[in-house]
Amino acid sequence: MPPATLPLTRDLVLIGGGHAHALVLRRWGMKPLPGARLTLISPDPTAPYTGMLPGHIAGLYPRDALEIDLVRLARHAGARLILDRATGIDRAARRVHLAGRPPVAYDVVSLDIGITSTMAELPGFSEHAVPAKPLAVYATRWARFLEDVAAGAPPRVAVIGGGVAGVEIALAMAYRLGSSGHRPEVTVIEAGPMALPGLSPRSRAGLLGHMTRLGVALRTGVRPVAITAEAVELHDASRLPAALVVGAAGARPQPWLRATGLDLTDGHVTIDAHLRSVTDPAVFAVGDCAHLRAAPLPKAGVFAVRQAPVLWHNLRAALGAGRLRAYRPQRDYLKLVSTGGKGAVADKWGLTLDGRWLWRLKDAIDARFMRALSDLPPMPAPPLPATVAAGVREALADGRPLCAGCGAKLGAGALDAALAALPAPARDDLLAGPGDDAAVLRHGAGVQLITTDHLRALTEDFALMARIAAVHAMGDIWAMGAAPQVALAQITLPRMSEALQARTLAEIMGAAAEVFGAEGAEIAGGHSALGAELMLGFTVTGLAERPVPKAGAQAGDALVLTKALGTGTLMATEMARDAWGPDIAAAWAQMAQPQGAAARLLAPLARAMTDVTGFGLAGHLLEMLDAGGVAARLDPAAIPLLPGAAAASARHASSLAPANLAAIAGRAQLPDDALGRLLVDPQTAGGLLAAVPAEDASALVAALRAEGFAAAAVIGHVVAGAPEIRLG
C-alpha cells in the first residue's frame, strides 16, 4: 500500500526552527515515517543561520543569504508549518501551548528553540537595547541603525559581553561602519577580568589585535547598571555614550521552560545520551536550549548540526520505528571567529591560525550548510502504468501537480455549460440564483442569502486552512452586502486514527468558529468523512435588507479592490518548492483576513460588488461588466500585488489560469507580463471588488486602510461601451 494511503496514527511536533530541526526536516523529506504526522512550530517562516550573521553585519552577505526557509523545508518534509510562538507544554495532556491559537497535541515533541541574550533584569535594556539573540531582531535593528547613521546619527556602539559572540559582532559592526566612510566608536564591555576567556592565549591575543586594528575599545572589570537612550551607565559611576547597545553577555534559556516541570540545568532542558529529557521520554531537546547531562557542551551551533542525525533516528524510534541511538559529542571543535572583514581566526586543540584564507574556508563551510537546506532533492513522482487510456499522458505533460485552494476549481467554460442546462427557476421566493454570488431568497421584509464553497487544502496547517476556508465561504455573503448568519461545515479528513481525527476536528472547528463568531455567525453542524486528502468548506446563509448586485455599475464609477493579487501563483510556486517563505507567509495572512469590516464600508456606497476568487480579477470583473452592460479601464500601476507574486508568475502558474485566460479571450487587453498573468490568477479568499461613485472613492480607500486592508486601492474606472477590460 502506498504511504500516502496509510492512516496517520502519531503526532510528532518540532518546536523551533533551529539548525538541528532544519536538518531533521531535510532527512524526513527523503525518508518519511509512514503513519506519522510531522508538525513544525515556528514564529517566523525563516530561521537565521548563526554562522553567517557576522558576515551579514559586516555587509558581506545580504539578509536573505542567512535565512533558512522553513516553508520550503516543511513542504519538502510533508510537514505542517504552524507560524506561531510556543509558550508552554502541558505534559499531562501532551499539548503545546501557543501564543495566538489553541494548543496543538503531540505524542512526541522535540525542542530546538535556542537561547536569548535579552537582559530583562537590566534597567532600560528592553526599551533602549537589542539582544544579539534572537538573531532576526538584532539584524533588523542593525539595518535601522545604519540608516540612522547615514542620516547623521553618531556611529557609537556598545556591546555588552566580551565572549566570542560579543567580540565577533563588535568587529563586524566596526568594519561595516568604517567601510561606509564613518569613524566608528565601538566598545566591548566585559564584567570579568578579561575578554575571550574560552580561547587559547594565542587566539585571544590575535583577536585583541584585530580589535585594535579596527578601533574597537575594550573595557573589562565593569558591568552595566542601566541603559538609557544615549548611553550605558556603568557600576563605577562612569557613563559610556552609545546610540546602539547590543547585549551579548551569556546564554539565557527561554523562560517558559521553567513551567514545564522538566528537569532543567541553569534553565536548559537536561537531556540524556539519547537527546531525551531525563524527566519525560516523550520530550526531546537539542541545540542551545538543551544541557547534555553526561557531557555538558558549549553553546555552539556545531553541536546542534552533529546532533541532527541522531535526533532524526531517535524521533523515529520514539514513534515505533527502531531502537534509540546514543549521541557522542566530539571533545573539541573548530572555532572560526570572523575578524570583521574577510578574515578569521581559527582555534582548536590550543592551536591558532589567522588569515584571509580562513575566511574562505569559513565561507565554504557556511555555503555548504545553506546549500544542504536549500537545494532539496526532488521526490520523484510515481511512474505511470505501462498502459493508460488515450489522453492521460497529454493531460500530465506539463508535470505540474493539481493546485489547491481556488486553483483546483473547474474553469468558467465547464461551469457555465452546466448552469445553462438547469431549468428556469420556478419558485416565487427565489429572487436570484445561478450567475449571482449567492442564491437570494425572499425573507420577511428583507432577503436571505445562501452560498456554499469548499477548497482543497493549500496548507497542512489545518487550523489556518479552516480560517481561510471560512473567510472564503463568507466572501459571497459579504459581496452582496449581507451579514453572515449560519454555517454548515463539510469536512473530509485524510485517513487517520480516531485519536488524530478528534485532534484535527477540534483544530478545524475551533478556528472556524472563531472566524464565524467574530462576524456574528454560528456553526450549526455539518458533515464529515474520511478521504484521500483534506477538503474543507462551508455552506453559509446571510441576511440583508437590500443585497448589492453584480449589476448596477455606471460609467464614471471608481473600481475599489480590497486585497492584493497573486495567491494562486504563490501557492503553485510553494507547491513546487520554489517560493520564498516570507512571501508565502504574507499570502497566508492575507487569505485568512476576514472582510466583514470592508463589506460594511463598501455596501452602503457600492452600486455593484463581487468577490475576486477562482476566475481571477479579470474574470470576476467581466461578470460585473456583463451584468451592467459597461466596460472598465484599469490602471496597471494601481493594482496591488502580493510580495513575490510578480517574480513567481514568470516561473509558475496555477492550474486554473489557462482556463481563466481562455474564458476572457477577445474581451480583455492583457499584456504578456506579470500583471497580465496575475489578472487571470485564481484567488483564494480574494478581495472584494466594488463599483462606487468616484467622488467617494478616496475617502473609502482611506477608511479601508484604517481597518487593516493595507492593499486597498482604486484600480480603475467604469467606462461606457461594450463589456470589456482595457488597460492604461
DSSP 221: S
Nearest to 463 by CA among 709, 26, 105: 105
d(CA 688, CA 564) in angstroms, rounded, equals: 10
Q: Omega of the bond prior to 377 within 30 degrees of 0, cis?
A: no
Q: HSE of 594 in the Cβ direction (CA atoms, 13 Å)?
A: 21
Pairing of strands 631-634, 725-727: parallel
Q: Are 591 and 474 in contact (CB under 8 A)?
A: no
**Rg (the chain; Cα; Å):** 29
Beta strands in 5-122 (DSSP E): 10-15, 36-42, 46-48, 67-69, 80-83, 86-90, 95-98, 104-105, 108-111
Count CB-CB contacts under 10 A for residue 334. 16
- 96 in Cβ contact with 89 (< 8 Å): yes
* Rounded-to-integer distance, Cα 132 and Cα 115, Å: 10
Q: Where are the beta strands (DSSP E) in 591-704?
A: 608-611, 631-634, 688-692
Rounded to an integer, what distance in angstroms lies between the CA atom of residue 501 and that of residue 12? 15
Closest by Cα among 630, 632, 619 to 560: 632
Three-state SS sequence of 338-356: ECCCCCEEEEECCEEEEEH
Q: Which distant-in-sequence residues (6+ apart) come within 8 Å of 54 by Cβ? A: 168, 169, 171, 172, 338
Length of the chain: 728
What is the SS3 assignment for 269? strand
Distance (Å, rounded) from C-alpha 158 to C-alpha 176? 15
Alpha-carbon span 37 to 606, nearest angstrom? 46
Provide the annotated active-site residues.
406
Say if residues 111 and 15 touch (Cβ distance below 8 Å).
yes
Q: Mapping DSSP to helix (H, G, I), strand (E, B) and coil, where does residue 553 land?
A: coil
Cell numbers at 266, concatenated: 541553569
The dihedral built from the CA positions of residue 264, 265, 267 and 271, taken in this order, carries a sign that is negative
E strand or H helix that includes residue 357? helix 356-374
- Grid-cell match 587559547, residue found: 200
Cβ(352)–Cβ(346) below 8 Å: yes
What's the grid cell of residue 134? Answer: 534572537
Q: Do 642 and 589 contact (CB within 8 A), yes or no? A: no
Q: Is the dihedral of CA 430, 431, 435, 438 positive or negative?
A: negative
The contacts of residue 399 (CB under 8 Å, 6+ apart) are 381
State the distance between the two ends of the chain, measured CA to CA, in whole angstroms: 56
C-alpha cell of residue 474: 463568507
Exposed / middle / buried, residue 515 (Cβ in 10 Å: 0-12, 13-18, 19+): buried
